[in-house]
Chains A and B, each alone.
Chain A
Amino acid sequence: MTTPIQKPPKKNPQIRTVVPTLPPASRSRRALAFTVAAAEGRFALQKCAMCGHIAYPPREACPKCLSMELPWTDVPTGGQLIAETTVQTSINTYFRERTPWRMGTVLLDAGVTVQCHVHGGVLRNGRVRMIARTDKSGKGVMMALPESEGENMADDKQLRELTCDPKHRRVLITDGRHMSALSLAQHLAGAGASIIFVGLAEDWRKPPKQAALEAIPQVEIVPLDITNTTSVTECAGEIGGKVDILINNCEYVRPGGIMGRRDVITAQDEMAVNYFGLMRLMQAFGPAMRGRGADGANSAVAWVNILSVYALSNLPEFGATSASQAAALSLAQCFRGEMAGSGVKVVNAFCGPLDDAWRQPLPPPKVSPEVLARDVLRCLQQGLENITIGDVAHDVRTRWIEDPRVLEKELTQIEGM
């Protein structure tokens, strides 16, 4: 059992905020594929296509047969801790501030030995279950967890460095009017978030399910209109220093593409929310979060963009909205670059069609608010950076990874014949 972390005390404004230091960030180019898998929570190693040998650390050629074909492959996560140490003295400033730090050698069932972080609940010589996650440098690392789930396991101080667990953290949900708002607030409250700010534009209009939202004790409604710079700036001025997790669920969705519309007014509205609104949020809330990446148990930890999966590849029936989502996705990549080194993860959650009025013509399976909230919470608790929500999103992203050019042909071809 892991000792539960305590609710952090109110911040003393006279004490300097600890600035984020970082674990080692340099990796070989080959090793970055491990980071890519880790950002999705996959435990992938190189497996020789010729002889099947699993190679680690990352290589250019198989050390058994010198084949150059070493595709990254999900491998079994079981293993045994065969040696361990607790580092008391480290030359790296990040670890120096966090010692003692447990690490060890695990013999994987896949047949290869790895060095990794070790969870406090792992027994000496014990069986372990490996995870791959990105660390505060945004680089993939391995951690050995106890084989079975233990009490308060997520509170392990080394594991919590890899995750974005909402426990004792303060969250901003940007759109209280969105159909996902109530479910998100309920899930976050259940996961131990200490404050859940819910943004509300035009707050003279009542949001749907207002009573249920206000019934959650942690919820605080705040005025926030992301299409209005003054509103965003004022909101950030009020609460920006205590937003540890920001979930942007604002969106503007309309059917149609180019020729079905006679002007660009709807497209401007789409961009006003999906692109410029996002940029306003980033400009107003980003700097404070970037400075608070190591601010104790409730440090700033995650920025979640809920994006349409058609940001990856345009769906002509919602073509103009897809374009604005693509703009948002590109902006998110810029934001990742600017937030790198802060310890705050920028999460892209690619969502399939929600079951709402504007997407009514689209066929099922659709995403319910429940599923969206559950998946976002799981993503935060696990510390992932890229997730899909719903079957359609999973399907589209899988096809996009396989070959984005084929996907483009599929999405733009004429039906029938």
Chain B
Amino acid sequence: MSRFSTPKRQGYDGVAVAVPVSIPYTRYSHESAHWWLARALGELVRCAGLTPADIDGFTVSSFSLAPDTAVGLTQHLGLTPRWLDHIPMGGASGVVALRRAARAVQAGDASIVACVSGDTNQVDSFRLMLSSFSRFAQDGSYPYGSGGPNSSFALLTDHYMRKFGATRADFGKLAVAQRANALRYPQAMMKKPLTLEQYIDARVISDPIHLFDCVMPCAGAEAFLVMREDIAADLNLPTARILSTIERHNAFADDPIQDRGGWAMDIDEFWTMAGIKPEAVDFLQTYDDYPVISMMQIEDLGFCPKGEAPAFVRANSFEIDGTLPHNTSGGQLSAGQAGAAGGFLGLVEALRQLTGTAGPTQVKDAQTGVVSGFGMINYDRGVCTAAATLARGLT
């Protein structure tokens, strides 16, 4: 922690978040990441009633865009932004893009920021991505069985189960509820009902990780707009507003193995800034590439004390009409993981909820929600964490 005090942070007055866009996922795609990102940007512009020239801020998150970055995409897609960011933070990309774009809009550096994420999934691209994911992974984890994220999260899950007494049935309850939600989300990849028995009996992938603990890599894109409130009003767009955000990287580096994330460092500020308590939240969208991480977020975001997520899960229900609606579009476990778009999935769904456009997955009277992101197993743990509290907009 820094020895210098942190000044009270400014709110996000005057900033509106709008136009949640999800491009339907496919298991594999022969198209490039550029194609998927272009579709998402086009959808944003059309839905908002804008032209590309109106977009003066742009953020991009993608794993499969190489050799390009956000820079190459501006020329490729004909944008001339005065504010540009490339956000390579995987599962934390959505919230990070949101909070950066919001400050740019608030400061007048940009008026309308398109936040876009997406990836393609060619038949061998997942293997290629894993084998060159990071230097630490290349040197320190990939040579040991090359299980990829399955074995990384198997280790975290194994440790979490030993330390806090979580059972597979606890994880299963989250996964089963998400599948129920996914059955109501038209674009979800997983359309077969899932029972707890099926979850428990599934084949082992890398113990204690079994089949339904894993996401399915796929191709897809997610996007939203951040803009001045007055512009949103002019465009007559339904909006959400930001109550609070946090972001932290490489927290608790001395923990021998990860059983808490960076949220825990900033949680007091998070709720103080939001001006509400966790009990007041109408829904929660966690980053769920494996259920153990949702448990960790439930604890570190303050929904229950550390180590008590298993009890919290047993005491609550997580369907759209449950006591705490959670990952209401099915999360990545049931909607699919479209690379970096997985880091936008929960946020885009939250925006649908708060703009009243969620349709079949709409949580009744949703006024506030929490979205959280977790990204980048650089070596043995997720390095990037972020979270945001959002509320129904003024327009």
Q: Are A103 and B151 interface neighbours, CB within 8 A?
A: yes
Min CB–CB distance A55 → chain B (angstroms): 11
Shortest distance from the beta carbon of A90 to any chain B beta carbon, whole Å? 5
B368-395: CB near A (< 8 Å → 1, else 0) gives: 0000000000011000000000000000
B257 and A91 form a contact (CB under 8 A): no
User: Among the interface residues A27, A85, A103, A105, which one has the most CB atoms of the partner chain B within 10 A?
Assistant: A85
* Contact for A101 among B127, B145, B158, CB less than 8 A: B145
Residues in A with CB closer than 8 Å to B151 are 85, 87, 103
Residue from B139, B144, B145, B151 whose CB has the most chain A CB atoms within 10 Å: B145
Knowing A85-B206, A85-B209, A88-B204 are in contact, say whether A24-B146 is a contact too (CB < 8 A): yes
A398 at the interface (CB under 8 A from B): no
Chain B residues with CB under 8 A of A135: 143
Partner of A90, one of B126, B139, B146: B146
A374 vs B17: C-alpha distance in the bound complex, in angstroms? 73
Q: Mark each residue of chain B from 125 to 139: 1 if its CB lies under 8 Å from any CB of chain A, else 0.
A: 011001110011011
Bits for B150-162, please: 1 = Cβ < 8 Å to A, else 0: 1100111011001
* Contact yes or no, A113 B150, CB < 8 A: no
B380 vs chain A, min Cβ distance (A) = 6
A115 CB → nearest B CB, Å: 5
Complex: how many Å from CA A94 to CA B136? 21
Q: How far is the CA of A85 from the CA of B207 in the complex (A)?
A: 5
Q: Is B140 an interface residue (CB 8 A)?
A: yes
| Contact call B141/A90, Cβ cutoff below 8 A | no
- Using Cβ atoms and an 8 Å threshold, which residues of chain A touch B256? 82, 105, 107, 113
Contact A58 B148 (CB under 8 A): no
Closest partner residue, chain B, to A139 (CB atom):
B143
**Could you tell me if A24 and B143 are in contact, using CB atoms closer than 8 angstroms?**
yes
A103 lies within 8 A of B139 (CB): no
- A83 x B156 contact (CB < 8 A): yes
Report the separation of the CA atoms of residues A90 and B126 in the bound assembly, to the nearest whole angstrom: 12
B59-79 toward A: CB 8 Å interface, digit per residue (1/0)?
000000000000000000000
Q: A113 — nearest CB in chain B belongs to which residue?
A: B256
Contact B143–A28 (Cβ < 8 Å): no
> A57 and B130: CB pair below 8 A?
no
- Distance in Å: Cβ of B1 to nearest Cβ of chain A: 15
Residues of A within 8 A of B139 (CB): 27-28, 30-31, 34, 57-58
Candidates A28, A56, A90, A137; contact of B147 at CB < 8 Å: A90
Q: Is A86 an interface residue (CB 8 A)?
A: yes
- A89 within 8 Å of B (CB atoms): yes
- With contacts A27-B138, A89-B147, A95-B145 taken as known, whether A115 is within 8 angstroms of B155 at the C-beta atoms is yes
Q: Which of B131, B150, B159, B206 contacts A24 (CB 8 A)?
A: B131
- Chain A CB within 10 Å, residue with most, of B132, B151, B154: B151
Nearest chain A CB to B210 CB, angstrom units: 10
User: Is A179 located at the chain interface by the 8 A CB criterion?
Assistant: no
Q: List residues of chain B with CB within 8 A of the CB of A47.
A: none
CB of B233 within 8 Å of the partner chain = no
Cβ of B169 within 8 Å of any chain A Cβ, yes or no, is no
- Residue from A30, A83, A117 in contact with B257 in the complex, judged by beta carbons closer than 8 Å: A83
Query: Is B142 close to A, CB under 8 A?
Result: yes
Kindly state whether residue A26 has any CB partner on chain B within 8 Å. Answer: yes
Closest approach, in angstroms, between the C-beta of B55 and any C-beta of chain A? 38
- Given A82-B257, A139-B143, check contact A115 B159 (CB 8 Å): no
Given contacts A26-B138, A105-B159, contact A86 B143 (CB under 8 A): no
- Measured between beta carbons, the chain B residues less than 8 angstroms from A90 are 145-148
Tell me the complex Cα distance, A113–B132, Å.
22
How far is B148's CA from A95's CA once the two chains are assembled, in angstroms? 12
A113 x B257 contact (CB < 8 A): yes
Most buried by B among A27, A107, A137, A141: A27
Q: Does A198 reach chain B (CB closer than 8 Å)?
A: no
Question: CB-CB < 8 A to B207: which residues of A?
Answer: 85-86, 88
Verify A116–B144 contact, CB threshold 8 A: yes
Residues of B at the A interface (CB closer than 8 Å) are 126-127, 130-132, 135-136, 138-148, 150-151, 154-156, 158-159, 162, 203-209, 253, 256-257, 379-380
Interchain residue pairs with CB less than 8 A apart (9): A57-B139, A57-B379, A84-B155, A85-B206, A90-B147, A91-B127, A92-B131, A101-B145, A141-B144
Residues of A within 8 A of B (CB): 23-24, 26-28, 30-31, 34, 56-58, 63, 82-92, 94-95, 101, 103-105, 107, 113-117, 125, 135, 137, 139, 141
- Contacts A87-B145, A95-B146, A141-B144 known; list 7 others, CB within 8 Å: A26-B131, A28-B138, A83-B162, A89-B206, A90-B146, A105-B159, A113-B380
